[in-house]
Amino acid sequence: MKFIETKLRGAFIITLDRLEDERGFFARAFCRHEFEEHGLNPALLQCNISFNKIKGTLRGMHYQTNPHAEAKLVRCTAGAICDVIIDLRPESPTFKQWFLIQLSEKNHQMLYVPEGFAHGYQTLVQQTEVYYQVSAFYHPASERGIRWNDPAFTIEWPLPITAVSKKDASYPDWETSL
């Protein structure tokens, strides 16, 4: 695996080293030792799959507060997404900055999202599936979110929003939620 740090400290794009032959390819998608070598949280306690029927579907921006903050390893296994993260660590030099990357079944890239970040994505095609592993168990009382169009962040989503949950659309403005 190749680890490329994004402009947001601690968040990494992970590219698979593919061993290809006439059958296709083989690649390691996780190695505890390699994650530890890069200072990433190697604890993976829960795996989730999200299937999205409609192009333009938006999920996010989600995070959990301490002591249940979670790191995520996100991969698009079918279709394509625009994946977005926001640094919510007040002590970070990139606090309140966001980063966007396209993940797809074709590019086989993954995004490592550290604790203290909000995460969300928009589907770029119909029938999209996202697989992600998290370092903490879901804890409903610690769950928080940022509205996809919050003026404090002005995220530049690539498509019009065609579907979003009532919950995700109803988060208060960031400044008023502090």
Token duo for residue 177: 């939620």
Whole-number Å distance between alpha carbons of 26 and 18? 6
b vs e for 133-167, b when ≥16 Cβ sit within 10 Å of the residue's Cβ?
bbbbeeeeeeeebbbbebeebebebeeeeeebeee
The number of beta carbons lying within 10 Å of the beta carbon of residue 30 is 13
Neighbouring-strand partners of residue 78:
129
Is 132 annotated as catalytic?
A: yes
* Catalytic choice (38, 132, 138, 171): 132
* Catalytic choice (62, 63, 112, 119): 62
* Strands of the 58-64 sheet, one edge to the other: 98-104, 80-87, 117-123, 58-64, 143-145
CA dihedral 74, 6, 89, 133 (to 10 degrees): 10
Is 38 annotated as catalytic?
A: no
Beta strands in 42-95 (DSSP E): 46-52, 58-64, 72-78, 80-87
Catalytic residues: 62, 132
